[in-house]
Amino acid sequence: MRFPRTLALLSALGLLSACADAVVEPEATVPAAGERTAQGPLLTGWIWRAGATLPLEVRYEERDGLAIWQGDIIIGKAGEVPATLQALRARMGGGPRLGLGISPGSGRWPLGIVPYVIDPGLANASRVTNAIAHIESQWGYVDFVPRTSETDYVYVTTASGAGDCATAVGRQGGQQVVYLGVNCTQGNATHELLHTLGMHHEQNRCDRDTYLTIKWANMRDPAEPYYAKACDGYDEYGAYDYGSMMHYGPYADSQNGQRTLEPKPFSSSNLNKMGQRSGLSTRDRTTVSEMYPRLLGPTGLAVSYPGNVPSLSWNPVSGASYYAVELTQRYEESDYERGYTSWEAGSLVGNTTGTSLTDTSNPYTGQSVCNVYSNAYGYSDYSYYYDVYAVFPNGKLSWNSRVPAEVGPC
């Protein structure tokens, strides 16, 4: 899957199953909310994606004072998108910017924390809170939190069009709006929130021609530019995903009720997956986890024993609120008759906002491993380690950093 191509943020800027011979046909040919792409005349403009080698020419429409690309991606305000390459170059450093390709440092939400506000006037606000709960349940290192005083945040409000669902891709800076019309479902809300995290439309992957047939003759003319492949400045995670929540359905932008998108080679199973808004696919979850990974623990962890008292130190981790230090006991047994078994149990030594801690409860013994037995039939021993975790403002832990602890009561 691609970032952006699931599309995802890169360096600089679901789940229906069916029998193999069964094809789920829609009850109507009208695209679902959020898939009404080209609704009006298209304009030509230019955007620059930091990290890409070339600027990008886009076809977009103006709707409710906004410049909308690919039907639901906001690239700026109406009238702000440079109409020529020369105008774009003259405005480098300012003007509208597209979330696609924003650098990880600026386009992703630090520590995976996304402050948000829901407009009190938004109908059926539970579709937003349920979408948030679903995303968070799929990957524990993304947190949407109610905004307090954060400068950068998501504001969810009502779109004027009943079927309009739109937002920008990636963190834009300041207030960025997610528009949801009254017909936008929880699945549509999830799709838009995945955009805010940095994911883009799957059918625009650079490699999509290997996996997707686009039936241009069935597509409304104004929509064609929205299906241009995006190749420059993006990266991919995993294989093409027909079941991604970021994939449009097979009848998107149809002018005659015939399919516009089909799997290549044709597969009714893959066709039935396309356009699902039930929940994140396995590859959607992988993409989010690659974008917002669990952070590594502190580097440079070391322990010394001045006066036979363990003293630990480590390097700071950016964004950490404090550090938790544990003493971990690990048991291992490998026996000819009983096989192999192991377990770990940790006890908190202490928390600190600094980058060092003294353990006054476990004196130095010079032993980090205590052997229970060792013979021709196997072995059994206890090992002791200090584990240090960085703890972030949302309560999430980094991976542990580990060093042997010479405090074993052998």
Catalytic residues: 192
**Which neighbouring-strand residues pair with 185?**
none
Cα–Cα distance, 291 to 286 (Å, whole number) = 9
Cα–Cα distance, 290 to 10 (Å, whole number) = 11
Cα–Cα distance, 111 to 136 (Å, whole number) = 13
Sign of CA dihedral 252, 254, 258, 260: negative
Query: What stretch of H or E contains 331?
Result: strand 322-335
Instruction: End-to-end CA distance of the chain: give it in Å, rounded.
Output: 51
Cα–Cα distance, 238 to 92 (Å, whole number) = 33
Query: What stretch of H or E contains 350?
Result: strand 339-352
Centroid of chain to Cα 211:
23
Cα–Cα distance, 32 to 27 (Å, whole number) = 11
Extract the tokens encoding 194.
């995945």
DSSP label of 397? B
- In 137-254, beta strands by DSSP E: 143-146, 153-158, 165-166, 175-180, 212-214, 235-236
